[in-house]
């Protein structure tokens, strides 16, 4: 308990480090940095990408103005790929994601913040005997423009670079050594190379004066073995700029999406009850309005959408707790078990396998779905997903259903 009470605020340190890091990368590329009422965003002219960094917004009207301004600002630049928005959890305001999704951002992953003290690093591992760790100044785009607070490391075996990492030293109240860009070639993994390049970055961070190391962990187990501990999760959203240019949402579409995402059924009824075409139109981010209601946990808005003709989907109804309604839909319309959803075009049974949701899988199999359907992203059937994610019970259920129907699944 004492350690928990005295543990440094690693999440806050990571947020400040990310902010200073992306600002430094923008300056290093002759990019730009903007600040407006609790919101800071950057543009990296070299990569054609930008970052909105840990906004702290206030009232709804002010939020709308800032979000509209930053999107217009990015559209005026030559953004070629993605704009990211990072936040601690909960965001400020709590419904920040609704405003972002309504304007075209897509939901992103949840960063896992981790950190450790750097006062004693004797527990860090050495690299494998045939691997050398060296400090480098070339490689990735941001490493090509050296920054006095940033260093890059490479793992080399037989003259070939097989892994790398970076460290960035932030300053101020939440100063820390931020670890970035940890990567190891797939064929070289599980040999301690990732630990070695991460350890090198931490050692360098301490030598530069940092007392703490922080990072956003994509594989927490490795970092736990390096002495880092978790400090909660964050939130991210990502804007596909080419998609936005092709389908810029109108003010009316934004207002409709925000009403759904905030569960404002009074506004939906008074303003959008006759907007049947709008209810059927996917959002710029790719979500349907029903999927938005599910993502934001708004069952009343979802019921309103269904009552007004929105196309139902099993996963959204399931996630909102409308499980009786989902079962009734499948009983009336078994083909609903085949409807594809999301960026990967997966069927509900694919998604049940990914989540390891046995109850959902059982319901879907009762509708006798086509088990040969392949997702367009990976070309894999629901059985393939169950194998990949090691969902043994669901895998057995799919195979048993196939045997009973005398089918081949994969």
Residue that the structure tokens 């793992």 belong to? 155
Q: Are 37 and 66 in contact (CB under 8 A)?
A: yes
Length of the chain: 410
Instruction: Tell me: cis bond preceding 90? Omega within 30 of 0 counts.
Output: yes
Q: Does residue 148 carry a pLDDT above 70?
A: yes
For 151-200, how does the pLDDT look when each residue is reduced to its tens digit (9 = 90+)?
A: 999 999 999 999 999 999 999 999 999 999 999 999 999 999 999 999 99
DSSP per residue, 36-67:
ETTEEEEEETTTTEEEEE--B--SHHHHHHHH
Give tens-digit pLDDT for 281-302: 999 999 999 999 999 999 999 9
Tokens of 339: 């409807």
**Residue 217 to residue 112: CA distance in whole angstroms:** 5
Residue 2 has pLDDT above 60, yes or no: no
**pLDDT of 117:** 97
| DSSP 3-state percent helix, strand, coil across the chain (nearest 5) | 45, 20, 35
Rounded to the nearest 10 degrees, what angle do helices 251-261 and 265-272 cross at?
150
Is pLDDT larger for residue 254 or for residue 136? 254
What does the alpha-carbon distance between residue 129 and residue 408 come to, in Å, rounded to a whole number?
A: 48
What's the rounded Cα separation, in Å, for the pair 279 and 289?
A: 7
The CA distances from residue 87 to 18, 60, 263, in Å, are 10, 18, 22
Q: What would the pLDDT profile of 187-217 be if each residue is shown by its tens digit?
A: 999 999 999 999 999 999 999 999 999 999 9
Q: Return left, alpha or beta for 180; rule: phi > 0 is left, psi -120 to 50 is alpha, else beta.
A: beta
The per-residue pLDDT for 218 is 84
Please determine, for residue 344, whether its predicted confidence score (pLDDT) is greater than 80.
no
Neighbours of 390 (CB within 10 A): 9
Distance in angstroms between the alpha carbons of the first and the last residue of the chain = 51
pTM exceeds 0.85, yes or no: yes
Model confidence pLDDT, tens digit, residues 73-91: 998 887 877 899 999 999 9
Cα–Cα distance measured from residue 378 to residue 190, given in angstroms and rounded to the nearest whole number: 25
């Amino acid at each position: 308990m004492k350690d928990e009470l005295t543990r440094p605020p690693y999440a806050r340190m990571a947020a400040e480090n990310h902010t200073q890091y992306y600002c430094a990368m923008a300056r290093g590329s002759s990019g730009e940095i903007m600040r407006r009422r609790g919101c800071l965003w950057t543009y990296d002219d070299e990569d054609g990408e930008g970052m909105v960094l840990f906004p702290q917004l206030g009232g709804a009207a002010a939020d709308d103005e800032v979000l509209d301004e930053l999107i217009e600002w990015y559209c005026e630049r030559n953004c070629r790929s993605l704009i990211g928005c990072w936040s601690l959890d909960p965001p400020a305001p709590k419904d920040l994601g609704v405003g972002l999704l309504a304007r075209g951002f897509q939901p992103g992953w949840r960063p896992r913040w981790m950190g450790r003290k750097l006062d004693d690093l004797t527990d860090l591992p050495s690299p494998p005997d045939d691997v050398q760790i060296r400090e480098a100044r070339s490689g990735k785009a941001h490493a090509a423009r050296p920054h006095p607070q940033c260093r890059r490391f490479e793992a080399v075996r037989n003259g070939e670079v097989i892994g790398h990492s970076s460290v960035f030293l932030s300053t101020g109240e939440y100063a820390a050594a931020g670890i970035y860009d940890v990567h190891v070639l797939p064929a070289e993994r599980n040999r301690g190379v990732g630990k070695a390049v991460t350890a090198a970055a931490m050692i360098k961070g301490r030598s530069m004066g940092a007392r703490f190391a922080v990072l956003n962990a994509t594989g927490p187990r490795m970092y736990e073995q390096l002495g880092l501990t978790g400090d909660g999760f964050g939130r991210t959203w990502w804007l596909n700029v080419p998609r936005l240019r092709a389908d810029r949402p109108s003010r009316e579409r934004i207002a409709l999406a925000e009403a759904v995402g905030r569960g404002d059924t009074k506004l939906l009824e008074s303003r959008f009850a006759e907007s049947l075409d709008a209810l059927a139109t996917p959002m710029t981010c790719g979500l349907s309005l029903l999927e938005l209601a599910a993502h934001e946990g708004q069952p009343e808005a979802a019921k309103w959408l269904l009552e007004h003709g929105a196309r139902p989907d099993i996963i959204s109804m399931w996630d909102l707790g409308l499980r009786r309604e989902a079962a009734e839909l499948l009983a009336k319309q078994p083909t609903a078990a085949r409807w594809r959803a999301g960026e990967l075009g997966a069927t509900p049974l694919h998604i049940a396998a990914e989540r390891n949701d046995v109850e959902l899988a059982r319901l879907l199999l009762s509708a006798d779905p086509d088990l040969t359907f392949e997702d367009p992203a990976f070309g894999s059937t629901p059985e393939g997903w169950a194998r990949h994610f090691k969902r043994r019970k669901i895998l057995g259920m799919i195979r048993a259903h196939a045997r009973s129907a005398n089918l081949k699944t994969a």
